[in-house]
Amino acid sequence: MTVELESDYRPSEHEPFMNDRQREYFKNKLLQWKDDILKESKETLATLQEESQNHPDFADRASSETDRSIELRARDRQRKLISKIDAALERISDGSYGYCEETGEPISLRRLEDRPIATLSIEAQEAHERREKVYRDD
């Protein structure tokens, strides 16, 4: 089922939570984000391939290797982000998107707007981070 959305639509607290319109809005937002990451990734690959020639100067070669290492780390982060986007799209399909994985309560629209891959409400995320800090300090 496709829902037509006007380009200036923003989910509102004054409508039913995760109605068809909101789900379609977040689906489009996630798909656009994924598309942007994939385009950027292709550009990065092209740049890395162009710069893969040998540099006769050791300083140039070292600089090139450092740049390549940074780019590869960024690509790894992008790959992980894409898997989180795919998981969010799956949650939209199965109807669990927008609900906290720990409490089952709705995640605020503002949080989803800022971080559409969020799986925890702010309260649950803060509690998770506090627990993580306690274990990390031990």
**Cβ of 61: how many Cβ atoms within 10 Å?**
12
Instruction: Please give the residue range of the domain that contains residue 111.
Output: 98-138
From first to last of its 138 residues, what are the pLDDT tens digits of the chain?
Answer: 444 555 789 999 999 999 999 999 999 999 999 999 999 888 877 766 666 566 677 777 777 778 778 888 888 899 999 999 999 999 999 999 999 999 999 999 999 999 999 999 999 999 999 988 877 655
SS percent in the chain: helix, strand, coil, step 5: 65, 0, 35
Residue 71, classified by CB atoms within 10 Å of its CB into exposed (0-12), middle (13-18) or buried (19+), is: middle
Residue 2 lies in a domain: no
| CATH number, domain containing residue 57 | 1.20.120.910
Count of domains for the chain: 2
- Residues 33, 62, single domain; the answer is yes
Q: How many helices (H) and strands (E) does the chain have?
A: 4, 0
Side chain identity at residue 39, one-letter code:
K
Question: What 8-state DSSP symbol labels residue 99?
Answer: B
φ and ψ of 107, to 5 deg = -85, 140
- Residues 39, 52, single domain; the answer is yes
